[in-house]
Structure 1
Amino acid sequence: MLYYLFRFLDQFGIPGSHMWGYISFRALLALILSLAISAWFGEKFIKYLKSKQITEVQRDAKIDPFGVKKIGVPSMGGIIIIAAILLPVLLLGRMRNIYLILMIITTIWLGFLGGLDDYIKIFRHNKEGLPGKFKIVGQISIGLIVGLVLWLSPDAKINENLSMKKMNGTEVVVKHRPEAQKSLKTTIPFVKGHNLDYSNIMSFCGKYKTAAGWILFVIMTILVVTAVSNGANLNDGMDGMCAGNSAIIGVALGIFAYVSSHIEYAAYLNIMYIPGSQELVVFMCAFVGALVGFLWYNSYPAQVFMGDTGSLTIGGIIGVCAVIIHKELMLPILCGIFFVESLSVILQVYYAKLGTRRGVKQRLIKRAPLHDTFRTTDDQLDPNIKYVFKKPHTAIHESKITIRFWIMTIILAAMTIITLKMR
C-alpha cells in the first residue's frame, strides 16, 4: 500500500519518495518492521494467551531429563509470526505481483489449517488434533493451487539462460532469452550449465509432452509443499529449533530470489532470470524478521510455542518460495534438517512395524523425530524394546541441541548457495 502511495508522490518530486522504488530499501524496512512487530505484539499476545489459559495439554514433560516441565506454556504463537509477516508485506509490497499474492495466500491458508489443529488440541482437549488426512488434504490443496497458478498465469514467466561463452579466455558471458515466457525448467545443483526440463522427462508422451510436463510440475509442487511443511512441523519439538532453522533457510531463499530477479547476477551465476521475483525478497525479509522476533520469546526456556499454526505455515512458505524461483530441487540440501527429521520418523515407524510382524519389539533409534534421541537417556528407554542405535547414552541439554542444529542448517545453507557457483 505504501509502495503505491510513495510512487505516486514521486511524480511530484517529493523528497525521499523515490527510495520506495529500490527493492533493497523496502526489503530491509520489511525486515526491521516485522522484527519490531513480532517482538512488540508477541509480548501482548503472550499475556492474552496466558489470561485465557490457551496452553498445550502436555509437551514432552516425561522425556526431559533436566526437569523442565513444559506444561502451561501458551501455544498458537504462530499467530505472532503470521501477523509480523503479513503486515509489513501488505504495507511495503507490490500487491499486483503474482508471486507475492501466492505467498500471502499460502501464509493465510496454512495458518488457518495449523490454527484449526491447535484449536482442537487446546479447546477440545484432543491431543491428536486435526486428523492427519485433513491436514494432508489442506496441504495438497494449497500445493495444487500454487502449481496451477504458476502454470496458467500469464504473469509467471522467466527468461531462460540459453548459452554460456568464454570471452578473452577467462570472462564467462551468459545469454538469456530476450523475452520472458512460460518455462518448465528448474535448477539442478552441481550440474554445470544445465537445467532440468520437466517436459523432457515426459518426452515419452510425444506431442503432449509439454502438457504432461506441466502436470508433473504441479505434482512436484504438491509434494514439495507437503513435505517441507510436514518437515517443519516435525522439527518444531524444541525451544527455538524450528524458528531458528527456518530463519536461516529464509535468508538463503531471499538471496536466491534476489539474484534471480537481477539479470546481471543471474547471468553471472548462470541461472534463470525471473522478472518480478524481487518482491519475494520483501516477503522473505519479513519472514526472517518475524522469526527472529519470535525467537525473543521462543528461545529456551520458551515463553510461547508456535504450534502447528506456525510450523505448517513456515514450511509451506519455504516450499512455495523455492518452487516460484525454480529452486525446489535444491531443498533436500537447504532443508536437510527437515529432511532428516522426517526420514527418522518414517524409518522408525517402518522398523517398528517390521518387528511387530515378527513378534519383536524393536526401534531403530531411541526416539523420533531425531532431535528427541539426543535428549533421551538410556534410563528412560523401555527395557523390553530392542534398539539398534542407543547413542548418545546420556542426554544433551535442549539448548545445546538446538544451537547445534542451527549450525548444521547454516552449513547446509552455505553449501546450497555455493552449488550455484560450482555449476
Structure 2
Amino acid sequence: MFYWFYRHLEINIFQYISVRAGISFIIAFFLTMFLLPKFIKWAKSKNASQPIYEHAPLGHQEKAGTPTMGGMVFILATIIATLLTAKLNNFYIIGGLTTIALFSLIGMQDDYSKITKNKNSAGLSARAKLVLQFLCAGIVGFILYYFAHTTTLHIPFYKLPLFDMGVYAILFWMVVMVSASNAVNLTDGLDGLATVPSIMAFFTLSVLVYITGHAILSSYLLLPNIKLAGELAIVGAGLSGSLIAFLWFNSHPAEVFMGDSGSLPIGAFMGYMAIVAKSEVLLVIIGFIFVLETLSVILQVGSYKLRQKRIFLMAPIHHHFEQKGWKENKIIVRFWIIAFMTNLLALMSLKIR
C-alpha cells in the first residue's frame, strides 16, 4: 500500500526501503501489542496451554497453564505489515511470506496436537514434522531457483564465491532452512531465550539483505549484488517489531509462549534471509546461540548412544545450566549477551574481506 502511494500519488518518501521498513516495524509492533493481550485472554478461556515436559527442571512445572501458540499473533502481524509496506511483485517477498506461512502452519498443527489431541508435550512425531519441513523448504527452494536466485556459495572473510552449486543449491537451501527452523525451536525453552537472539539475528540479516540488494554498498563491501533482495529487509523489520512487542509478554515470568507456530517460522525465515543474502555460512555466527543449543543436543544424544554417558546434565544446554543451579534470568541474559557479541562479529565481517 505504501509503495502504491509512491507509484500513483508520487509521495517520494515511500520509494525508500528504509522508510517502508521503519513503517513495517511500527505496524507490526503496535498490531502485536494490540492483539496479543486479547489472544492471551482467549487462550486462557480455552485452556490452550502447552503441557510441561515431565523431565524438565522442577521450576518449569510452575509454568503449567501458560498459554501457548502466541507465535500465531506476531506472525500474523508480520504478514499484515509486509502486505501494507512491501512490493508484492518482488519474488523475494513472495518467497519470504511463503516460508513464514508454511512453517507457521506446521507449527500450528504441532501446537494444536499438543493442547488438544495428545494431551502431552510430544505433538507431531519427529519424522512427520521433519518431512513437512523439508517439503515446505523444497517449495521455497524451488521458487528461488525458478526465479534464478544465484546458486553460488559464499563464505565469510572471502570476497569471491567458492563454487556454483547449480540445481543442488535447492537441497542445500532446504537443509539451511530446516536446520535453522529446528535450532530456534530447540532454543525456545526459557522465557524470552529465543526471542531476543532472533531479534538481533533479524536486524543483522536485514542489514545484509539491504546491502546485497544495493549496487553501490555491495560493491564497496565486496559482497555479491543480488538485485531486488533489499526489499526483504522490510519483512525482517516487521518480524523484529512484532517480536519486540511479543517480548513484552514473553519476558520472565512469561504470560504466553510462542510455541512451534512461532519458533519454526522464525528459524526458517532466518535461514531464508541468509540464503538470499548469500550468508548461509555466516548464519552460524549470526545464530550462534541456536547453533550452540542444537550442538548440545547432538552431542548429548551421540555420546549416550555410543558411550552410554551424558556430556551435559541435561540438553539442550540451557537446561544444563539450570541443573547446575543457575537462575533462569541469569541464563537468559547471559545468552542474550553472547548473541549480541556474535551478531556484532558478523557485522564486522562485512568489512574484513
Q: TM-score range by the shorter chain?
A: over 0.9
Q: Which residue of 1 aligns with 2:156?
A: 189
> Hey, what's the Cα distance between the residues in 2 that align with 1:229 and 1:81?
16
Following TM superposition, by how much is the alpha carbon of 1:61 offset from its aligned partner in structure 2, in angstroms? 8.2
Q: Which residue of 1 aligns with 2:122?
A: 128
Q: Which residue of 2 aligns with 1:380?
A: none
Question: 2:21 is aligned with what amino acid?
Answer: A
Following TM superposition, by how much is the alpha carbon of 1:64 offset from its aligned partner in structure 2, in angstroms? 3.9
Deviations 1:187-241 (A, max 9, x none): 31122x322223xxxxxxxxxxxxxx32321111011011100100000000001
More strand by share: 1
336-345 vs 142-151, which moves further? 142-151
* SS of residue paired to 1:319: helix
Query: Aligned pair 1:22/2:16, yes or no?
Result: yes
* SS of residue paired to 1:420: coil
> Hey, what's the Cα distance between the residues in 2 that align with 1:281 and 1:296?
23
Q: Which residue of 2 aligns with 1:400?
A: 330
* SS of residue paired to 2:281: helix
**Mapped contact 1:61–1:70 kept (Cα < 8 A):** no
> Hey, what's the Cα distance between the residues in 2 that align with 1:344 and 1:61?
17
Instruction: Using structure 2 for the length normalisation, give the TM-score.
Output: 0.96
Query: Aligned pair 1:351/2:303, yes or no?
Result: yes
Question: 2:160 is aligned with what amino acid?
Answer: H
> Hey, what's the Cα distance between the residues in 1 that align with 2:204 and 2:58?
33
What is the aligned residue count? 352
More helix by share: 2
**Mapped contact 1:118–1:308 kept (Cα < 8 A):** yes
Pick the structure with greater CA Rg: 1
* SS of residue paired to 2:112: helix
**Mapped contact 2:286–2:339 kept (Cα < 8 A):** yes
Q: Which residue of 2 aligns with 1:327?
A: 279
Change (3 A) 1:100 1:298: same
**Mapped contact 2:95–2:144 kept (Cα < 8 A):** no
> Hey, what's the Cα distance between the residues in 1 that align with 2:350 and 2:52?
44
Any gaps of 5 or more consecutive residues in structure 1? Answer: 11-16, 157-182, 199-212, 357-361, 378-394
**Runs of 4+ residues deviating >4 angstroms:** 59-62
Change (3 A) 1:62 1:111: closer
Instruction: Using structure 1 for the length normalisation, give the TM-score.
Output: 0.80
Q: Which residue of 2 aligns with 1:52?
A: 46
**Mapped contact 1:34–1:84 kept (Cα < 8 A):** yes
Matches within 5 A, 1:300-379: 300-356=252-308, 362-377=309-324
Query: Aligned pair 1:421/2:344, yes or no?
Result: no
Alignment identity in percent?
34
RMSD: 1.5
Any gaps of 5 or more consecutive residues in structure 2? Answer: none
Query: Aligned pair 1:270/2:222, yes or no?
Result: yes
**Mapped contact 1:59–1:71 kept (Cα < 8 A):** no
> Hey, what's the Cα distance between the residues in 1 that align with 2:307 and 2:61?
33
> Hey, what's the Cα distance between the residues in 1 that align with 2:180 and 2:294?
9
